[in-house]
Structure 1
Amino acid sequence: MATIRGKPVALVTGGGSGIGRATAVRFAELGYSCVVADIDEPSAKETLRMLQTPGIAVQVDVTMATSVEAMVTTAVQHFGRIDCAFNCAGVVTKNATIVDTPEDEFDRVMGVNAKGVWLCLKYEIAQMLQQEPVMSDPAKWVDKPDVCRFRGVRGSIVNASSITGLGPAPGINASYCASKAAILGLTQTAAVEYAKEGIRVNAVCPAVTATPMLDRVLEKAPPGTEENLVSKHPVGRFAAPEEVAEAVCWLCSDACPFTTGEHLKIAGGL
């Protein structure tokens, strides 16, 4: 397989639609080569056709270690390294109380959202530890004090949590909230474990975002659900996927080299 080098490389799971797709598109606009990964390979390929830079589409099941490892291996075989990763693959579940939630549904949500992020971190970090630190733009920092000069990183990772991971969310299934809270714990732990290795790990916590996943939820929801959800946002609307994508790309950039172990709310005032 030919290897493409020179451009920074971004890996996006859940890249076949919604926030993942918007982030892959934004990474490409910023000059990154992209690995678009999704369990739905045709959707990943559709995203690939939207990109302005070289990329590949990879089918991945983030609940399976062998699949995640193969995704990372394919990315490195093609591009030589992984500079940034956005772990965005996730699922929602129908609203139900703890008592009324089936055990297999809890396992499914935790498996994709929490275990999936853990597996991605496991194999992405293992690859990044093998990489030489990169200083993307030395001239940008040449006149800055030594204490804040950007010295380069081996990689930067952002995990997709949610505002529901920050506290109780009435009307939202507890398994989803638990999975998103678990992602914050994984983010903070990974950040501490690998800070001295030049690997940054952060998370984004969006509120309700206008994605195909939301559309599917609203189709099955009672009348008036959308209006009720919008009314809870002080800005009076849902987030656009592109707004979350901008935050992810900023967290991955050299604009915030001292930022790790943090979560960024993108919640319209919530």
Structure 2
Amino acid sequence: MLPSRSFVFCLLSPSSKRTNICFPGVTMATNKGKPVALVTGGGSGIGRATAVRFAELGYSCVVADINEPSAKETLRMLQTPGIAVQVDVTMATSVEAMVTAAVQHFGRIDCAFNGAGIEGTTPARIADTPVDEFDRVMGVNAKGVWLCLKYEIAQMLQQEPVMSDPAKWADKPDVCRFRGVRGSIVNASSQAGLQSFPLYSPYCASKWAVLGLTQTAAVEYAKEGIRVNAICPGLVATPMHDRLKEKSPPAFSERLDSVHPVGRIATPEEVAQAVCWLCSDACPFTTGEHLKISGGL
């Protein structure tokens, strides 16, 4: 991981679709009542596709990643106002600063996708896995999700619930859409959080941990209008997938792309659609769940 640092905002090029307000170190776009989505790991892969999809749906976006240039690149793809934040999800001060930045610029956080994650550097069986490798992967994938939940939920608890078309639900006062929600969070687990993943025990352990965190957070805050769910993708065409193929033993690598019954791996955009659906008010009764996106596996 990169050394701990405070957040840094990106610089945007002028765009006919955005109104940019510039001052030293920060470039932001004005927000006029749009819902706000925060995406970690937004610099590539599923995170990038999710930020793009949120923008297509009209959300203002906070694109967060430890890789600042990648976050900036994603931001240039968006159709709505946004900011890019450099964040180290293993550091509480950095995650808190990310959430603070989002609220300072957009006023609230309606949705969050905690997608930042790493796979580890050395495929090995448990007895041969270095201890620091386990600590590093768990630090990003498990502790990172816990820290994001901690500060995202703390912010959402301060927000007024948003109601979706109250008149439509006036005769159903107990329905969540009428009562309103303070926020919705989706965490990135994995198919490896549901079954074994040989040679990658730290990754597997971290993704099982994400499901436990998801279910616990969902129960703790269900009555306060905060929904928390998780996605469990199979193999997806991302840079992480490419690294897995390069690092894994040939026999393991050759099987990677043929494990799904549908005969292919997923695209990041397919996973992004699922994230945005879970964040939307289309499923107000859904919390504490995990959605498997694995092509029949």
What TM-score range do you get, normalising by the shorter chain? over 0.9
Q: Distance in 2 between matches of 1:85 and 1:136?
A: 18
Residue matched to 1:80: 107
Alignment partner of 2:62 out of 35, 42, 49:
35
Indicate conservation of the 8 Å contact 2:244/2:253, yes or no. Answer: no
Shift of 1:212: 1.1
Indicate conservation of the 8 Å contact 2:218/2:229, yes or no. Answer: yes
Is structure 2 residue 109 aligned with structure 1 residue 89? Answer: no
Is structure 2 residue 152 aligned with structure 1 residue 124? Answer: yes
Indicate conservation of the 8 Å contact 2:169/2:175, yes or no. Answer: no
Shift of 1:65: 0.1
Shift of 1:215: 1.2
Is structure 2 residue 203 aligned with structure 1 residue 176? Answer: yes
SS of structure 2 residue aligned to 1:99 = helix
Shift of 1:144: 6.4
Residue matched to 1:108: 136
Residue matched to 1:154: 182
Q: Compute the RMSD of aligned alpha carbons.
A: 1.6
Indicate conservation of the 8 Å contact 1:19/1:241, yes or no. Answer: yes
Indicate conservation of the 8 Å contact 1:61/1:67, yes or no. Answer: yes
SS of structure 1 residue aligned to 2:101 = helix
Listed as ranges, the gaps of 5+ residues in structure 1 are: none
Q: Distance in 1 between matches of 2:258 and 2:217?
A: 36
Indicate conservation of the 8 Å contact 1:165/1:179, yes or no. Answer: yes
Alignment partner of 1:243 out of 270, 278, 286:
270
Q: Distance in 2 between matches of 1:144 and 1:200?
A: 23
Code of the aligned partner of 1:220: K
Structure 1 81/42 Cα, relative in aligned 2: closer, same or farther at 3 Å? same
Shift of 1:136: 3.3
Equivalenced residue count is 268
Is structure 2 residue 246 aligned with structure 1 residue 219? Answer: yes
Structure 1 173/255 Cα, relative in aligned 2: closer, same or farther at 3 Å? same
Indicate conservation of the 8 Å contact 2:35/2:59, yes or no. Answer: yes
Shift of 1:149: 5.7
Indicate conservation of the 8 Å contact 1:5/1:80, yes or no. Answer: no
Q: TM-score, normalised by structure 2?
A: 0.86
Percent identity over the alignment is 79
